[in-house]
Structure 1
Amino acid sequence: MSHSASVIDVVGHNVANVNTGGFKASRVLSQGAPAADVEDGGRRGVATTTIDRDLRGASATPSLPLHFTIQDDAFYPVNAGDGTTVYVRSGALTVDSARNVTTAFGQLLEPPITIPEDHTTPAVTSIGLVTAVNADGEQVEIGQI
């Protein structure tokens, strides 16, 4: 019964979060297991061996210039706000009022990337370069995620 409950919990969690950006689905990995009360192992049951998580997350076509999808199992560093560094996979970046590139939760990238005052249209390239258009209309590199 424990295995079935784990499967139901994991499926419910996956369904509830399917539309969450960067959500990482889980799956229950199981194997046959001999029944504890039978010496020769004649009866077999199923045991949950682990709950595995797919680190790729949901892949969607980015619709905003500072949104991107991480294709492998990489993370990138951000400042947690208290001076500590944490690693995230969220591909939804924004620019705050001080022109810093931040996560959707306001965390600064490590190292910080700031869009110069005379630059517009910040974007992230497929290889993680942050670019912006300068006063001369040229797209220039501002930093690297």
Structure 2
Amino acid sequence: MLRSLYSGVSGMRGFQTKLDVIGNNIANVNTIGFKGSRVMFKDILSQTVSGVSAADDQRGGVNAQQVGLGVSMASIDTVHTAGSAMTTNVATDLRINGDGFFAVGTTDQVDAPYLTRAGNFTLDADRNLVTTDGLHVMSQEGGPVVIPDGVVSFSIAQNGDIIGVNADGTTASTGQHIAVVKVQNPAGLEKIGGNMYRMTANANPGGEITKVLPGDTETGVGTLVSGQLEMSNVDLTGEFTEMIVAQRGFQANSRIITTSDEVLQEIVNLKH
């Protein structure tokens, strides 16, 4: 009887966390490059009332008798499916068509940058390509991306090559390529807010960050699409459905606690 009380409590805690995750997903339905999360559950170790006995010449085998002790969270996974594309026609807006992440950070984070799928970049007063928080976008050449002086305008090719238009109308590569980073296990990245992730030892072996050119066939990273952004991959229909499931699950577990309390009350009243 007391076991059912604690099982109900564990279920309510689990569904409360599920609602927290769903709420965060819905709140970020319009966040550029956001990846939604999901909660997975597992049962808690069961209490064995009687053990297993094997069959012999005289009698057949007997199965174990076990009582479950509730539920716990197995994981909170980040789902890295691609979000839909939004066309902006802004040259500094970039979308990765396929796998990979942009590398961004301060000038002393060249070797250990943050990672992001949000490509809403801008130019600052020094012609640095930066995020909305002022972090530099890293190039394949080993430093921040800087548009050289004398370039009237520029475009970004699918392989990350920044092509400048000179004052005389001629075009030429600026010698800089926007880098992307291949991540073997994107779900192993650590969310740090601001649409950014931090590399971990479970995302890449040893937490290593290797910047490559977009479209690199060896690593299988995607190409860049200029003038587009990747939207959130949150599906409102699925989230609202999961919200209903979580709400009903929470109510059902609260009913377990109420019923167990009523049974305990009946036992207490036996004396009278």
TM-score, with normalisation over the residues of structure 2?
0.45
Shift in Å at residue 46 of structure 1?
Answer: 4.6
> 2:91 maps to which residue?
65
1:77-102 deviations in Å (ceiling 9; x for gaps)? 33336x23422212111111111111
Question: Higher Cα Rg: structure 1 or 2?
Answer: 2
1:13-59 deviations in Å (ceiling 9; x for gaps)? 0001111111121111234x267457434558554210111245644
The more displaced of 122-131 and 99-108 is 122-131
Cα-Cα RMSD: 2.6
> 1:10 maps to which residue?
21
Gapped regions of structure 2 (runs ≥ 5): 1-11, 50-64, 179-272
TM-score, with normalisation over the residues of structure 1?
0.78
Distance of 1:71 and 1:5 partners within structure 2: 35
Match for 1:115 among 114, 123, 147? 147
Instruction: Report whether the alignment pairs 1:144 with 2:177.
Output: yes
Distance of 2:145 and 2:101 partners within structure 1: 17
Q: Which residue type is aligned with residue 15 of structure 1?
A: I
Instruction: Report whether the alignment pairs 1:24 with 2:56.
Output: no
Distance of 2:70 and 2:104 partners within structure 1: 45
Distance of 2:144 and 2:45 partners within structure 1: 56
Distance of 2:81 and 2:171 partners within structure 1: 30
Instruction: Report whether the alignment pairs 1:52 with 2:85.
Output: no
Instruction: Report whether the alignment pairs 1:95 with 2:95.
Output: no
Distance of 2:16 and 2:170 partners within structure 1: 57
Shift in Å at residue 9 of structure 1?
Answer: 0.6
Contact 1:22 1:59 in 2 (8 A): no
Which structure carries more relative contact order (alpha carbon 8 Å, separation 6+)? Answer: 2
Distance of 2:84 and 2:152 partners within structure 1: 27
Structure with greater strand share of residues:
1
Distance of 1:14 and 1:28 partners within structure 2: 12
Distance of 2:93 and 2:144 partners within structure 1: 17
Distance of 1:15 and 1:124 partners within structure 2: 32
Task: From the superposition, tell whether residues 138 and 17 of structure 1 become closer, same or farther in structure 2 (CA, over 3 Å).
Answer: same
The more displaced of 61-70 and 124-133 is 124-133
Contact 1:62 1:68 in 2 (8 A): no
Structure with greater helix share of residues:
2
Number of aligned residue pairs: 143
Task: From the superposition, tell whether residues 2 and 24 of structure 1 become closer, same or farther in structure 2 (CA, over 3 Å).
Answer: same
Task: From the superposition, tell whether residues 134 and 2 of structure 1 become closer, same or farther in structure 2 (CA, over 3 Å).
Answer: same
